Amino acid sequence: MKESIHTIMDELIAKYLLQEATAIEIAQVDDWVAESNTNKKAFENFKFLWDESKKITATNTVDENIAWQNFKNKLNAQKHETKVISIKKYTWMRAAAAVLVLAVGGWFLKNSFTKEDVGKQMLVQTKKNVLIDTLPDNSVVTLNKNSSIEYYSKFTTGSQRNIKLKGEAFFSVTPNKEKPFIIKVNDVEVRVVGTSFNIKTINGQTEVIVKTGIVQVTRNGKTVLLTPQQKILTKADNNELAKETTKDKLFDYYETKEFVCEETPLWRLVEVLNVAYDSEIIIGRKNLRNLSITTTFANEPLDNILHIIATTFQLQIIKKEGQIILQ
Amino acid sequence: MELNNTHFIELLTKRDESAFEKVFKDNFKKLQSYAITMVSDENVAEEMVQNVFFKLWDRSEKINIQSSIEAYLYRAVYNESCNYLKHQKVKQGFLNYSKHVMSDISTEKASKKVMLTELEERIKNALNDLPEQCRTVFQLSRFEELKYQQIADTLGISIKTVEAQMGKALRIMRMKLVDYLPLVFLFLNIVK
């Protein structure tokens, strides 16, 4: 190129224009400019561009405090370049609904049918909301808060219906004996043909409770079959898969939109209410923890529920710094 | 409290909101200005910067920041804006085309204005073609008016690199605009 100039000269001119050059460097540039008309023109071009470029300086009126608020709103409503599927908001969960459905290119479910077209990888994620998602096989998943499932959009084409779960979800699986429905959660595999059940993970432990049908749970080579009202809870430090019978009917509250208590201890109800309403209810006295409740709370404001509890057990409700103390 | 980099990155992996808020507020305006000079739209620019912080927060455990947090943020804003521009390219091409048509039918007085706007547009496009580090150094120098030493400190690079990148920035800009510049000089002289 005829206009090409030595790299070092460009750097010197830049320093010259930015007043970063030493006295010697300034003299060097001046000499070089005086040397020829071409040099002079090149220098003028540089200077012109440098001066003109200032004109595109952005003037922004943004207030960083407002921007920060916007950011926090965005975090709460984690919608992020995504395809959003229908959300059913519960009135008792006023928290902003947040869904994240990402179609990602990679593969991470280990499929035995990787060569077939399994479609797009789907990620359905909840933050502060409960979400109902209908899968391609018409099975219905109710995802509790802070949970996610991953599957392929054409997962019915294979010999199995594979899905991956984090957090907690209630599954109502469409029967299909040809294609078992397999959920991978932590180190556990849950295999069903067509039933409904709840899976919850807490600190790497996995809890499975069956509502209808039969569910097969496998972990580290061991397998158990669970029937309704039975549950297992895996433990990190041992390999046992111990079945328990559970009277708890609260576990699927976020799916049924009802809090069904049948001789439910108060601590358990409080635990569930705290998750459902993002509240911090505390039982003020130890001897109140095991008070037993038999009732059903429908979709209603937390204050109503607390009022009924308080009246039933003749307790006081004290609200202090975001906490609600029952005593 | 002045947050140094290692300390901040440590707090970030712990999802410390107040540390994150500080870095957000300290840098938001500057990053948004950067994005505005690239995408020429204040709202889009804010979205670019919001996205960058969103990803930083969302993937804080996985993000690998080797130089400085500022260097990371400027690079991320550059990349985010480049991606946006790529998607807008077809649209932009059409807008530039209609601007040319406009300038043909304008009066001479108006065409000076168009000319200058077009020059700015060309400078902006030339700047957007610069590689990331080069573009970021130019941003800090020209628009934030930092001295070489301050740029080096902010981005965690040597002063020698700053010199080289500035020389490179001016050289590339001139190469891209060299055929256009005589025309501009001519025009300015006529109107004077």
User: Percentage of residues in chain B with pLDDT exceeding 90?
Assistant: 28
Q: Which of A202, A133, A205, A145 is nearest to A172 (CA)?
A: A133
Q: Is B42's Cβ below 8 Å from some Cβ in A?
A: yes
Q: Which residue has the tokens 């705290």?
A: A274
Half-sphere exposure of B52 (CA within 13 A, CB side): 31
Q: Which residue has the tokens 């709370």?
A: A297
Query: Hey, are the CB atoms on A67 and B174 less than 8 Å from each other?
Result: no
Which residues, in sequence order, are bridge partners of residue A208?
A: A199, A232
Whether the ipTM is more than 0.85: the answer is no
Phi, psi of A235 (to 5 degrees): -120, 140
Band (pLDDT 50/70/90 cuts) for residue B189 is: low
**What is the chain A residue with the closest CA to B34?**
A58
Q: Closest to B50 (Cβ–Cβ): which among A11, A52, A74?
A: A74
Rounded to whole angstroms, the Cα distance separating B80 from B94 reads: 22
Alpha helices in chain B (DSSP H): 5-13, 17-39, 42-58, 69-105, 108-128, 132-138, 148-155, 159-177, 181-191
In the predicted model, is pLDDT for residue B134 greater than 90?
yes
Q: Could you read off the pLDDT of B86-119 as tens digits, one per residue?
A: 877 655 555 555 444 444 333 333 322 233 467 8
Nearest chain A CA: its distance from B78 CA (Å): 15
Nearest chain A CA: its distance from B21 CA (Å): 7
Q: What tens-digit pLDDT sequence spans chain A (327 residues)?
A: 434 456 788 899 999 999 999 999 999 999 999 999 888 888 988 888 888 888 877 666 778 888 888 888 877 776 433 333 333 333 333 333 334 444 333 334 433 334 456 677 777 888 877 887 888 888 888 888 888 888 887 777 778 888 999 889 989 888 888 888 999 988 888 888 778 888 988 777 888 998 888 888 888 888 888 888 888 888 877 778 888 888 788 888 888 888 888 888 899 899 888 888 888 898 988 888 888 888 888 878 888 888 888 888 888 888 888 889 888
Contacts of A312 (CB under 8 A, 6+ apart): A293, A295
Cα distances (Å, whole numbers) of residue B37 to A219, A285, B31: 56, 61, 10
Which residues, in sequence order, are bridge partners of residue A140?
A: A134, A172
Rounded to whole angstroms, the Cα distance separating A297 from A145 reads: 20
Cα distances (Å, whole numbers) of residue A121 to A150, A151, A245: 7, 6, 37
For chain A, list residues whose CB is within 8 angstroms of any CB belonging to chain B: 1, 3, 5, 7-8, 10-15, 17-18, 20, 42, 45-46, 48-50, 52-58, 60-62, 64-65, 67-68, 70-71, 74-75, 80
Rounded to whole angstroms, the Cα distance separating A311 from A315 reads: 7
Q: Which of A219-228, B116-125, B183-192 has the highest mean pLDDT?
A: A219-228
Rounded to whole angstroms, the Cα distance separating A66 from A71 reads: 9
Most A CBs within 10 A among B22, B163, B168, B187, hence the mutation to make, goes to B163
CA B146 and chain centroid, separation: 15
Q: Is A207 helix (H, G, I), strand (E, B) or coil?
A: strand
Rounded to whole angstroms, the Cα distance separating A131 from A143 reads: 5
In the predicted model, is pLDDT for residue B139 greater than 70?
yes
Alpha helices in A101-196 (DSSP H): none
Phi-psi region of A27 (alpha: psi -120 to 50; beta: other; left: phi over 0): alpha
Rounded to whole angstroms, the Cα distance separating A130 from A184 reads: 20
What is the per-residue pLDDT for B187?
A: 63
Q: Which residue has the higher pLDDT, A210 or B190?
A: A210
- The sign one gets for the Cα dihedral B76, B78, B81, B82 is negative
Name the residue type at position A10: D
What is the per-residue pLDDT for A93?
A: 37
What is the per-residue pLDDT for A105?
A: 35
Contacts of A206 (CB under 8 A, 6+ apart): A185, A186, A187, A188, A199, A200, A219, A233, A234
Strand segments (E) across chain A: 99-104, 121-126, 131-134, 140-143, 148-152, 161-166, 168-172, 181-185, 188-192, 196-202, 205-212, 215-219, 222-226, 230-233, 243-245, 259-265, 280-283, 292-297, 317-320, 323-326
Alpha helices in B40-107 (DSSP H): 42-58, 69-105
Rounded to whole angstroms, the Cα distance separating A102 from B105 reads: 48
Q: Is B187's Cβ below 8 Å from some Cβ in A?
A: no
Most B CBs within 10 A among A8, A13, A39, A45, hence the mutation to make, goes to A45
Phi-psi region of A278 (alpha: psi -120 to 50; beta: other; left: phi over 0): left
Are B30 and B49 spatial neighbours (Cβ–Cβ below 8 Å)?
A: no
Average pLDDT score over residue span B27-40:
88
Q: Is B144's Cβ below 8 Å from some Cβ in A?
A: no
The widest CA-to-CA distance across chain A, in whole angstroms, is 99
**What is the chain A residue with the closest CA to B52?**
A71
Band (pLDDT 50/70/90 cuts) for residue B150 is: very high
Q: Which residues of B touch A55 (CB under 8 A)?
A: 116, 120
Nearest chain A CA: its distance from B101 CA (Å): 23
Query: Hey, are the CB atoms on B42 and A60 less than 8 Å from each other?
Result: yes
Most B CBs within 10 A among A53, A55, A69, A72, hence the mutation to make, goes to A53
Query: Hey, are the CB atoms on A14 and B166 less than 8 Å from each other?
Result: yes
What is the per-residue pLDDT for A92?
A: 35
**What is the chain A residue with the closest CA to B24?**
A68
Q: Closest to B50 (Cβ–Cβ): which among A8, A10, A71?
A: A71
Query: Hey, are the CB atoms on B45 and A60 less than 8 Å from each other?
Result: yes
Q: What's this model's pTM, rounded to 2 decimal places?
A: 0.47
Query: Hey, are the CB atoms on B50 and A62 less than 8 Å from each other?
Result: no
Q: Is A210 helix (H, G, I), strand (E, B) or coil?
A: strand
Q: Which residue has the higher pLDDT, B98 or B12?
A: B12
What is the per-residue pLDDT for B91?
A: 55
Query: Hey, are the CB atoms on B42 and A61 less than 8 Å from each other?
Result: yes
Output the DSSP codes for A165-185: EESEEEEEPPP-TTS-EEEEE
Burial of B100 (0-12, 13-18, 19+ CB in 10 A): exposed
Average pLDDT score over residue span B52-70:
80
Half-sphere exposure of A216 (CA within 13 A, CB side): 11
**What is the chain B residue with the closest CA to A12?**
B167
Burial of A19 (0-12, 13-18, 19+ CB in 10 A): exposed
Q: Is B143's Cβ below 8 Å from some Cβ in A?
A: yes
Output the DSSP codes for A229-248: TEEEE-BTTB----EEE---
